[in-house]
Amino acid sequence: MAPASLARQQTEEAFLDAAERLLVSVGYAGITTRALAEEAGANHGLVHYYFGSMENLLVRVLERFTERLIARQRAMYAARDVPFIEKWRTAMRYLEADREYQKVWYELQALAWNRNELGERVAHVNSEWRAVLTEAFAGPHERYGIDMPLDALVSLVITFNEGIMLERLSGIETGQADLLDWIDDWLESKQAG
Protein backbone atom coordinates (compact mmCIF):
# COMPACT_ATOMS: atom_id res chain seq x y z
CA MET A 1 0.00 0.00 0.00
CA ALA A 2 1.19 3.48 -0.82
CA PRO A 3 2.03 5.89 2.03
CA ALA A 4 -1.13 7.80 1.24
CA SER A 5 -3.13 4.78 2.39
CA LEU A 6 -1.55 5.01 5.80
CA ALA A 7 -3.49 8.21 6.35
CA ARG A 8 -6.56 6.44 5.11
CA GLN A 9 -5.97 3.54 7.44
CA GLN A 10 -5.70 5.94 10.31
CA THR A 11 -8.90 7.69 9.34
CA GLU A 12 -10.69 4.37 9.03
CA GLU A 13 -9.52 3.45 12.51
CA ALA A 14 -10.65 6.85 13.72
CA PHE A 15 -14.12 5.98 12.43
CA LEU A 16 -14.10 2.62 14.16
CA ASP A 17 -12.83 4.17 17.40
CA ALA A 18 -15.48 6.85 17.20
CA ALA A 19 -18.14 4.22 16.63
CA GLU A 20 -17.10 2.39 19.80
CA ARG A 21 -17.27 5.62 21.76
CA LEU A 22 -20.75 6.30 20.43
CA LEU A 23 -21.82 2.76 21.28
CA VAL A 24 -20.90 3.56 24.86
CA SER A 25 -22.57 6.97 24.98
CA VAL A 26 -25.71 6.62 22.85
CA GLY A 27 -26.02 2.98 21.75
CA TYR A 28 -26.07 1.50 18.30
CA ALA A 29 -29.42 3.00 17.38
CA GLY A 30 -28.14 6.51 18.01
CA ILE A 31 -25.22 6.32 15.62
CA THR A 32 -25.67 8.37 12.46
CA THR A 33 -23.15 9.02 9.72
CA ARG A 34 -22.92 12.70 10.62
CA ALA A 35 -22.56 12.22 14.35
CA LEU A 36 -19.99 9.52 13.71
CA ALA A 37 -17.99 11.71 11.35
CA GLU A 38 -17.98 14.56 13.83
CA GLU A 39 -16.85 12.23 16.61
CA ALA A 40 -14.09 10.93 14.35
CA GLY A 41 -13.13 14.41 13.17
CA ALA A 42 -13.74 13.48 9.57
CA ASN A 43 -16.15 14.26 6.79
CA HIS A 44 -19.41 12.37 6.82
CA GLY A 45 -19.16 11.52 3.15
CA LEU A 46 -16.18 9.31 3.92
CA VAL A 47 -18.39 6.78 5.64
CA HIS A 48 -19.78 5.84 2.28
CA TYR A 49 -16.47 6.21 0.44
CA TYR A 50 -14.52 4.06 2.88
CA PHE A 51 -17.06 1.54 4.06
CA GLY A 52 -19.78 1.56 1.43
CA SER A 53 -22.48 1.91 4.03
CA MET A 54 -23.16 2.52 7.68
CA GLU A 55 -24.12 -1.12 7.97
CA ASN A 56 -20.72 -2.27 6.71
CA LEU A 57 -18.99 0.07 9.10
CA LEU A 58 -20.78 -1.52 12.03
CA VAL A 59 -19.80 -4.93 10.75
CA ARG A 60 -16.18 -3.77 10.74
CA VAL A 61 -16.56 -2.52 14.28
CA LEU A 62 -17.92 -5.90 15.28
CA GLU A 63 -15.11 -7.73 13.51
CA ARG A 64 -12.36 -5.67 15.06
CA PHE A 65 -13.91 -5.82 18.50
CA THR A 66 -14.48 -9.56 18.51
CA GLU A 67 -10.89 -10.19 17.39
CA ARG A 68 -9.62 -8.15 20.29
CA LEU A 69 -12.01 -9.81 22.69
CA ILE A 70 -10.82 -13.27 21.74
CA ALA A 71 -7.16 -12.29 21.98
CA ARG A 72 -7.86 -10.88 25.40
CA GLN A 73 -9.63 -13.95 26.63
CA ARG A 74 -6.81 -16.17 25.41
CA ALA A 75 -4.20 -14.02 27.12
CA MET A 76 -6.15 -14.00 30.35
CA TYR A 77 -6.22 -17.75 30.94
CA ALA A 78 -3.61 -19.17 28.63
CA ALA A 79 -0.56 -18.04 30.62
CA ARG A 80 1.52 -20.93 31.94
CA ASP A 81 3.09 -20.96 35.37
CA VAL A 82 0.38 -18.79 36.87
CA PRO A 83 -1.78 -20.31 39.64
CA PHE A 84 -5.38 -20.72 38.61
CA ILE A 85 -6.59 -18.41 41.36
CA GLU A 86 -4.47 -15.61 39.92
CA LYS A 87 -6.03 -16.03 36.51
CA TRP A 88 -9.46 -16.03 38.07
CA ARG A 89 -8.75 -12.87 39.99
CA THR A 90 -7.45 -11.14 36.89
CA ALA A 91 -10.61 -12.07 35.03
CA MET A 92 -12.79 -10.81 37.87
CA ARG A 93 -10.81 -7.59 37.98
CA TYR A 94 -11.55 -7.02 34.30
CA LEU A 95 -15.19 -7.80 34.98
CA GLU A 96 -15.09 -5.14 37.64
CA ALA A 97 -13.23 -2.44 35.76
CA ASP A 98 -14.03 -2.54 32.08
CA ARG A 99 -17.58 -1.28 32.04
CA GLU A 100 -17.15 0.66 28.82
CA TYR A 101 -15.70 -2.32 27.05
CA GLN A 102 -18.70 -4.34 28.19
CA LYS A 103 -21.11 -1.67 27.01
CA VAL A 104 -19.60 -1.84 23.54
CA TRP A 105 -19.84 -5.60 23.55
CA TYR A 106 -23.46 -5.70 24.69
CA GLU A 107 -24.52 -2.99 22.26
CA LEU A 108 -23.00 -5.01 19.44
CA GLN A 109 -24.86 -8.07 20.67
CA ALA A 110 -28.12 -6.14 20.82
CA LEU A 111 -27.46 -5.02 17.27
CA ALA A 112 -26.86 -8.63 16.24
CA TRP A 113 -30.19 -9.73 17.75
CA ASN A 114 -31.84 -7.95 14.84
CA ARG A 115 -29.32 -8.65 12.06
CA ASN A 116 -29.07 -12.34 11.52
CA GLU A 117 -25.88 -12.07 9.49
CA LEU A 118 -24.03 -10.78 12.56
CA GLY A 119 -25.15 -13.52 14.91
CA GLU A 120 -22.46 -15.91 13.76
CA ARG A 121 -19.72 -13.57 14.90
CA VAL A 122 -21.18 -13.26 18.40
CA ALA A 123 -21.49 -17.03 18.58
CA HIS A 124 -17.87 -17.34 17.50
CA VAL A 125 -16.64 -15.18 20.37
CA ASN A 126 -18.69 -17.25 22.75
CA SER A 127 -17.29 -20.53 21.50
CA GLU A 128 -13.74 -19.17 21.76
CA TRP A 129 -14.42 -18.06 25.31
CA ARG A 130 -15.80 -21.51 26.04
CA ALA A 131 -12.73 -23.19 24.58
CA VAL A 132 -10.36 -21.04 26.60
CA LEU A 133 -12.27 -21.61 29.83
CA THR A 134 -12.65 -25.32 29.22
CA GLU A 135 -8.89 -25.66 28.96
CA ALA A 136 -8.23 -23.42 31.92
CA PHE A 137 -10.76 -25.17 34.14
CA ALA A 138 -9.88 -28.75 33.25
CA GLY A 139 -7.11 -28.90 35.86
CA PRO A 140 -8.92 -27.21 38.76
CA HIS A 141 -12.11 -29.11 37.94
CA GLU A 142 -10.36 -32.39 38.59
CA ARG A 143 -8.00 -31.16 41.30
CA TYR A 144 -10.73 -29.63 43.40
CA GLY A 145 -13.07 -32.55 42.85
CA ILE A 146 -15.92 -30.44 41.53
CA ASP A 147 -19.04 -32.55 41.40
CA MET A 148 -20.33 -31.35 38.02
CA PRO A 149 -19.34 -32.16 34.44
CA LEU A 150 -16.69 -29.80 33.07
CA ASP A 151 -18.98 -28.58 30.28
CA ALA A 152 -21.66 -27.72 32.81
CA LEU A 153 -19.16 -25.87 34.98
CA VAL A 154 -17.91 -23.85 32.06
CA SER A 155 -21.46 -22.96 31.08
CA LEU A 156 -22.18 -21.90 34.63
CA VAL A 157 -19.13 -19.65 34.79
CA ILE A 158 -19.76 -18.07 31.40
CA THR A 159 -23.44 -17.47 31.94
CA PHE A 160 -23.12 -16.01 35.40
CA ASN A 161 -20.42 -13.68 34.10
CA GLU A 162 -22.73 -12.62 31.30
CA GLY A 163 -25.49 -12.04 33.80
CA ILE A 164 -23.30 -9.92 36.02
CA MET A 165 -22.29 -7.73 33.09
CA LEU A 166 -25.90 -7.41 31.99
CA GLU A 167 -27.06 -6.40 35.44
CA ARG A 168 -24.33 -3.82 35.80
CA LEU A 169 -25.39 -2.18 32.55
CA SER A 170 -28.66 -1.48 34.34
CA GLY A 171 -26.87 -0.30 37.47
CA ILE A 172 -27.62 -3.49 39.42
CA GLU A 173 -24.92 -4.85 41.73
CA THR A 174 -26.90 -6.42 44.56
CA GLY A 175 -25.51 -9.71 45.74
CA GLN A 176 -22.71 -9.84 43.20
CA ALA A 177 -20.01 -9.07 45.75
CA ASP A 178 -21.37 -11.81 48.03
CA LEU A 179 -21.10 -14.30 45.23
CA LEU A 180 -17.67 -13.26 43.98
CA ASP A 181 -16.27 -13.09 47.50
CA TRP A 182 -17.53 -16.53 48.32
CA ILE A 183 -16.01 -17.97 45.16
CA ASP A 184 -12.70 -16.29 45.95
CA ASP A 185 -12.68 -17.65 49.49
CA TRP A 186 -13.58 -21.09 48.25
CA LEU A 187 -10.79 -21.08 45.69
CA GLU A 188 -8.36 -19.89 48.32
CA SER A 189 -9.36 -22.65 50.72
CA LYS A 190 -8.81 -25.22 47.98
CA GLN A 191 -5.44 -23.65 47.21
CA ALA A 192 -4.37 -23.88 50.83
CA GLY A 193 -5.84 -27.30 51.58
Partner DNA sequence: GAGAGATTTGGTCAACTGTCTTAGTCAATT
Partner DNA sequence: AATTGACTAAGACAGTTGACCAAATCTCTC
Asked if residue 36 binds a copy of itself (CB under 8 A), the reply is no
State which of positions 129-148 bind a copy of itself (CB under 8 A): 130, 148
Q: Considering only residues 5, 10, 53, 114, which one is a binding residue for a copy of itself as defined by CB under 8 A? A: 114
> What is the per-residue burial (b if ≥16 Cβ within 10 Å, else e) of 120-149?
ebbeebeebbbebbbebbeebbeebeeeee
Asked if residue 67 binds a copy of itself (CB under 8 A), the reply is no
The least distance separating DNA from the CB of residue 6, rounded to whole angstroms, comes to: 8
CB-CB contact of 50 with 60 (8 Å): no
CA 79 – CA 92 distance, rounded (Å):
16
CB-CB contact of 20 with 104 (8 Å): yes
Applying CB under 8 A, the span of 11-19, 25-33, 46-54, 71-79 interacting with a copy of itself comes to: 25-33
Which residues of this protein are in contact with DNA, per CB under 7 A?
2-5, 7-8, 11, 31-35, 42-49, 52-55
